[in-house]
Amino acid sequence: MLGLAVVEGVSMSPTLQAGDRLLVRYGARPRAGALALVRLPQRPLSVKRLGHRTDEGWWVERDNPERGTDSWTAGVGALPESDVLAVVLARVWPRPTTRLRRR
């Protein structure tokens, strides 16, 4: 199923900016390096980069080393597979100027 997500905050800059609209696919197979819509403990839904998968789940990261929350933040750690809700397919607004995946 497809959906839209709106970016809030600066944890994914410079890749994404607050207000960006993203096309996401719920139920898509997560892959390391992709952006995903995730459920972080005690926080609103977030867009994060999938780092690596362990037996405990996915380690997610922010692109902005100065701001935000990710798996390396105290109390977060690996996210269970069920907390990776959707994979980002594309930025639909504003028009994309950068790639969403790391090379």
Fill in the DSSP letter of residue 70.
Answer: -
Asked if residue 101 belongs to a domain, the reply is no
Q: What is the pLDDT of residues 48-94, one digit of tens each?
A: 999 999 999 999 999 999 999 999 998 999 999 999 999 999 999 98
- Give residue 14's domain range: 2-93
Q: Which of 13, 60, 16 is nearest to 34 (CA)?
A: 60
Structurally, how many domains does the chain consist of? 1
Kindly list the distances between the CA atom of residue 67 and the CA atoms of 10, 13, 54, 62, 98, in Å, as whole numbers in the listed order. Answer: 7, 9, 25, 8, 20
**How do 21-26 and 2-6 pair as beta strands?**
antiparallel
- 54-60: long-range pairs with CB below 8 Å, 24+: 54/78, 56/80, 57/81, 57/83, 57/84, 58/30, 58/83, 58/84, 60/36
**What pLDDT does 95 receive?**
73
Q: What is the pTM of this model?
A: 0.88
> Burial of 80 by CB count in 10 Å (0-12 exposed, 13-18 middle, 19+ buried)?
exposed
Asked if residue 31 belongs to a domain, the reply is yes
Asked if residue 98 belongs to a domain, the reply is no
Average of per-residue pLDDT across 7-34: 96
CATH number of residue 17's parent domain: 2.10.109.10
